Chains A and B, each alone.
Chain A
Amino acid sequence: MLDFPRWKTIGISIILLLGILFSIPSFVPEKTFNSLPSIAQTKVNLGLDLAGGSHLLLEADIADLRKTQLANMEKTVRAAMRGERGPDDDIGIGELRVASNQISFLVRDQTQLDEARDRLFNETQGAGLTGQRDWNINIVDVTRIVLTPTNAGQTQAIAHAMDTARDIIDRRVNALGTREPTIIRQGNDRIVVQVPGLQDPAALKELIGKTARLEFRMVDANADPNEAAAGRVPVGSEIVPYAEGEGNGAAFEVLRRQVMISGEQLIDAKQSYDPQSNQPVVSIRFDSGGSNTFAKVTAQSVGKRFAMVLDGKVLSAPSINEPILGGSAQISGSFSVASANALAISLRSGALPVKMAVVEERTVTPELGADSIRKGAIAGIIATISVLTLMLVVYGRFGVYACIGLVFNVFLIIAIMAAFNATLTLPGIAGFVLTIGAAVDANVLINERIREELARGRKVFQAVELGYSEASRAIFDANVTNVIAASLMFWFGSGPIKGFAVVLTIGIVTSVFTAVTVTRMFVAHWLRTKRPTSINI
């Protein structure tokens, strides 16, 4: 006990000093923090439940993605059979059928079967590590070709779509100008979006939930309104409903299936005002390919109507009064400035490759968060002071050492959390209190043991020595069980449980260090210099 090596004292002092240094940035006001050198800019993050903000969990509609995948493949099949070198290169096909998990069609001329298969083979790609391709091409009943997506291909398609979706959502949220949003993929088909300090979660959901698939399509002038109302439309056309609040009474338009221009050909979109009505609109600009197509089609179709379709709903269907050259256009609808702006952002960042739905939302207003922080801090301080007082009253000098250990414990927890950029949540504060309890328990075990050994008539040095060594075993066992509980919470728990486990794990390590090693250093120093013959404990 007396021989506490110098290197150990130095080592412990360095750790404690680092602890204080690293925890300071978490206490200074934001302005001072920002002026610190970048190496010192580490602080404890406050969870959204404390700081206020929104947490959204988005889930992709995988069934919808598969449907899109099949629809795209159908188009690919048609294009491939049409051939590159004109009509004489075409392969005649029939009975093209799209089922929920396959596409099948007949090749009319049996001699072209191999050629058809080769063309399709060029359209498929390798997927995964097994050498499998993303589509299987089989020939059944001599002339029928069946295309089935493979599992590897689908997994790859989902992963790719999710990565793209993450990037797009990232762009959209960043366009809102909020500070430090977190957007990460979770599991197979989910994306977590966390935006601190957000006031209006509804706008955020509106913004990131929109697929923003924009299409310009011609209105089918040949469709008979009465026939259409009964659900019968000309071949190559379909019924598309109006978006809510649009259409001036009309419920739908009959549109050509063929897409004239789509959102991918946009280079810019921004909110502006219609010069005539002064209503908020979205101004868009096409790339050169898009402008050419737009100019060509509108020149051929003066007097006809085209429709702007967003996510499968018609926004407006104006007449073409004159050819639209120069590649810019306006999307009008019943917009507010905010909703026009949101649409502009969505269009700019591109269409989501898959529909996303919000499956979990947690929003805390900044006021409530600030209130929680204030109360949590006050309660934490009062709790710490009460416990410190109790230790002083019960253990005297040894209580002082325990208190010093406890205070260092608080600094160390904050320092480690800051160094790892960990997040402090509300349950985390409770975890904090619990580790203070654990630190107290360790000191209680040691001090009670010293009392006991003294009562058995041991000398001071021996009693202290035994107190530390005998209690350490129980402290170790007790804390290992807590580490087991905390790590299981971390692996299997979610959200608040995880936040709690982080603080608990850090706290257990630091509390054993401060309650056993740090107090021991002080006690050893005192014993060595004063050499007391009796102690009051």
Chain B
Amino acid sequence: MRLLKLVPDNTNIDFLRWRKLASFMSFFLVAVSIALVAVKGLNFGVDFVGGQSVRVEFTQEMPPIDEIREKVGHIGLGEATIQQFGSDKAVSIRTALPEGDKTVAERAGQQLVAGIQKAFPTAKTGSVETVSGKVSEELIRTGALSLGLAIIGISIYIWIRFEWQFGVGALGRLFHEVSLTFGLFAVTQMQFDLNSVAALLTIVGYSLNDTIVVYDRIRENLKKYRKMEIIPLLNLSINETLSRTVMTTVAMVLALGMLLIFGPDVIFGFTAAMLFGVFIGGYSSVLMSTPVLVWLKVGPGSFVPRTSAGIEGGERIERKDDGAVV
């Protein structure tokens, strides 16, 4: 049986040729994302702003959004945010947190459900979420904290396992990935809630997976081909790992794609964000995370093998240790 090869053997693409363009693209996209978040803002869910959110499913024809908005407006909890949800007959209706003491959150949730049931007797309320202001502040704090600490923790690990240049490269890449994903949330106005933070953290973990595979190969080649110029060496490393990058990306896209199409609509946003992260991850592995190493002047001296001097060419230097310079 002939096996499928997603990337032909002996590919030799000069990826580093596009490094200026790619860097410009990345800077541009990061800037656009930050600007989008600043201008349009994120569509925070009740997890982070407090308030109440009800998922309503219409058993018959769904009334127009404007009609829903108007009727919900009459309940007396102010302007509602209404969002279509997966199927074409379900919406999420969200209202802001009313002023008052702790017990208002509790009452407002009931008020919203009762109001919706009265306005649309045939509709079913599938889930209710009520979060008070104090709790939402805590959630946003713990969410931001876990995201920030994950990025810092991972970068430190890479710095220790590799070299500082790689740590900086990884940090830059994480910043890139996280900003772009925030940009996605800003431009689509998808709801940003606790699940989205989990998605962001996954993207962080996943792109690190990619970075490490490429960096690991660079480190190996730096030791093997000691006299090779840095740019051809980076190109070689990317090409050598290219089939892996493509294969893993395809597998992830398949898995997440199926989850997006057939999975429960409750995690639609979550899955969409991860899928986006996988795409950006593929791009970053190939075009974004290596130019940093050129600027930071990574060279053959960064990893001095402990055995005899390397010989240029295909001959392998046998090593028993894992080769890391710690």
Interface majority SS on A: helix, strand, loop or mixed? helix
Complex Cα distance A482/B266, Å? 25
Q: Which of B138, B202, B209 makes the CB contact (< 8 A) with A478?
A: B209
Complex Cα distance A489/B195, Å? 12
- Contact: B259 with A430, CB < 8 Å? yes
Known: A365-B125, A497-B201, A500-B198. A489 touches B146 (CB 8 A): yes
- Contact: A440 with B157, CB < 8 Å? no
Q: Which of B124, B198, B204, B314 makes the CB contact (< 8 A) with A456?
A: B314
Complex Cα distance A489/B197, Å? 9
Q: How far is the CB of A48 from chain B (nearest CB, A)?
A: 10
Complex Cα distance A2/B216, Å? 27
Q: Which of A375, A382, A474, A485 makes the CB contact (< 8 A) with B154?
A: A485
Contact with A along B231-263 (1 / 0, CB 8 A): 000000000110110011011101110110111
B161 at the interface (CB under 8 A from A): yes
- Contact: A386 with B132, CB < 8 Å? no
Q: Which of A362, A394, A482 makes the CB contact (< 8 A) with B128?
A: A362
B102 at the interface (CB under 8 A from A): yes
- Which residue of the partner chain A has the closest CB to B197? A497
Complex Cα distance A359/B12, Å? 59
Using Cβ atoms and an 8 Å threshold, which residues of chain B touch A364? 126-127
Complex Cα distance A182/B250, Å? 42
Complex Cα distance A444/B6, Å? 12
Complex Cα distance A361/B55, Å? 14
Q: List CB contacts (< 8 Å) of A349-391 with chain B.
A: 357-365, 367-368, 371-372, 375-376, 378-380, 382-384, 386-387, 390-391
- Contact: B243 with A448, CB < 8 Å? yes
Contact with A along B114-130 (1 / 0, CB 8 A): 00000000001111111
Total A residues in contact with B, Cβ cutoff 8 Å: 82
Known: A365-B127, A386-B254, A474-B216. A493 touches B274 (CB 8 A): no
* Interface 9-residue window, one of B30-38, B103-111, B181-189, B294-302: B103-111
- Contact: A368 with B135, CB < 8 Å? no
B98 at the interface (CB under 8 A from A): no
Using Cβ atoms and an 8 Å threshold, which residues of chain B touch A427? 195, 198, 267, 270
Q: Which of B130, B198, B241 makes the CB contact (< 8 A) with A497?
A: B198
A342 at the interface (CB under 8 A from B): no
Contact with B along A15-26 (1 / 0, CB 8 A): 000000000000
Q: Which of A394, A445, A495 makes the CB contact (< 8 A) with B213?
A: A445
Contact with B along A467-482 (1 / 0, CB 8 A): 0001001100111111
Q: How far is the CB of B308 from chain A (nearest CB, A)?
A: 20
Using Cβ atoms and an 8 Å threshold, which residues of chain B touch A367? 124, 126
Q: How far is the CB of A306 from chain B (nearest CB, A)?
A: 29
Q: Which of B103, B139, B254, B267 makes the CB contact (< 8 A) with A426?
A: B267
Q: List CB contacts (< 8 Å) of A425-443 with chain B.
A: 426-427, 429-431, 433-434, 436-438, 440-441
Q: List CB contacts (< 8 Å) of A478-531 with chain B.
A: 478-482, 484-486, 488-489, 491-497, 500-501, 504
Contact with B along A86-108 (1 / 0, CB 8 A): 00000000000000000000000
- Contact: A61 with B102, CB < 8 Å? yes
- Which residue of the partner chain B has the closest CB to A456? B314
Known: A492-B145, A497-B146. A201 touches B128 (CB 8 A): yes
Using Cβ atoms and an 8 Å threshold, which residues of chain A touch B84? none
Complex Cα distance A151/B70, Å? 52
Could you list which residues of chain A lie within 8 angstroms of chain B, going by C-beta atoms? 49, 57, 59, 61, 201-202, 205, 209, 357-365, 367-368, 371-372, 375-376, 378-380, 382-384, 386-387, 390-391, 393-396, 426-427, 429-431, 433-434, 436-438, 440-441, 444-445, 448, 451-452, 455-456, 470, 473-474, 477-482, 484-486, 488-489, 491-497, 500-501, 504, 536-537
The 10 closest A-B pairs by CB, nearest first: A379-B263, A368-B126, A492-B146, A372-B264, A383-B258, A357-B102, A379-B262, A359-B132, A485-B205, A361-B130
A sample of 19 inter-chain contacts (CB < 8 A) reads A49-B266, A358-B130, A362-B127, A365-B125, A379-B258, A384-B255, A386-B254, A393-B3, A396-B3, A427-B198, A437-B252, A452-B240, A456-B314, A474-B217, A485-B153, A489-B198, A492-B149, A493-B143, A493-B201
Known: A485-B201, A492-B145. 4 other contacts (CB 8 A): A365-B126, A368-B266, A478-B213, A484-B157
